Amino acid sequence: MENWNSANKDLFHGKDGDLAGQDKESQEVPMLALHLLQFALVHVNTLLMQQVLANPK
């Protein structure tokens, strides 16, 4: 979990990984964008893992 959190700071580097904005509505869009990027990374990792596992060598 700690590695995932440190990756989030690398991906979402504005204000040292903190969400900008004073209210919930202004923080929602960056958080959704971060979630989309996280899901994309998980998908790419899954595809790469399937490719590795499909190779019998």
pLDDT at 53 over 90: yes
Segment 1-35, tens digit of pLDDT: 556 666 666 666 565 656 666 777 878 888 888 88
Q: What's the pLDDT at 55? A: 86
Q: What's the pLDDT at 48? A: 95
- Confidence bin at 44 (pLDDT 50/70/90): very high
Q: Are 38 and 8 in contact (CB under 8 A)?
A: yes
Length of the chain: 57
**Phi-psi category of residue 19: left, alpha or beta, with phi > 0 → left and psi -120 to 50 → alpha:** beta
Q: Which residue has the higher pLDDT, 56 or 19?
A: 56
